[in-house]
Amino acid sequence: MEKLLDILSNAMQVEIDGYHFYKLASEKTIDKKGKEVFSSLAEDEKKHYQILKGQYEKVRKTGGIEFKDKKVEFFKSESPSPIFSEDFKKRIKDMHFEMSALSIGALLEKNSIEFYRKSAEESGDEEVKNLFSYLVQWEQEHLKALITQQQYLKEAYWQDARFFPDI
């Protein structure tokens, strides 16, 4: 039980960190669509935290969790620019914070995915596996959107910065 409480406590911290990062990104970006998407990502992290907090309390009270399969709310965007507006690319030269936010966000999501995947694999409890597998899927959707956006903007950002890596 103590190990599960530690894992849940660490997971809650991961989600709090993600929430604060995406909230900051939504406040700092000047792109309207970017503000909306980063704000939405922050809200997702808050939802994850609430799910984990609820499970933490259940473990403390009953010694186990109760997590029924939930439907993952996938990030929806058919646009090649899923986070920022199309106009953003035209102003890419001055968007250093936003480009850094995409990179940092991707790292946060990768770390979350790895943490949740490892936690699921190490658990012998099916409910715990379901909980962490659910969070892996949700974080994978966030990562997919961030990477898609990075790839869409990378070449224009490099050209405007006069950066030509040897590929």
For the domain made up of 2-69+82-160, give the CATH fold.
Ferritin (1.20.1260)
Question: Domain coordinates of the chain in residue numbers?
Answer: 2-69+82-160
**pLDDT score of 165:** 66
**pLDDT score of 94:** 65
Nearest to 25 by CA among 79, 87, 84, 86: 84
Q: How far apart are CA 140 and CA 62, in angstroms?
A: 31
The ranges of the chain with pLDDT < 50 are none
**pLDDT score of 12:** 95
**pLDDT score of 166:** 64
Using alpha carbons only, what angle is made at residue 32 by residues 141 and 104, rounded to the nearest 5 degrees?
A: 45
**pLDDT score of 43:** 93
**pLDDT score of 83:** 74
**pLDDT score of 75:** 59
Exposed e or buried b for every residue in 60-76, given b needs 16+ CB within 10 A?
Answer: eeeeebebeeeeeeebe
**pLDDT score of 27:** 96
**pLDDT score of 97:** 84
pLDDT tens-digit readout, 3-17:
889 999 999 999 999
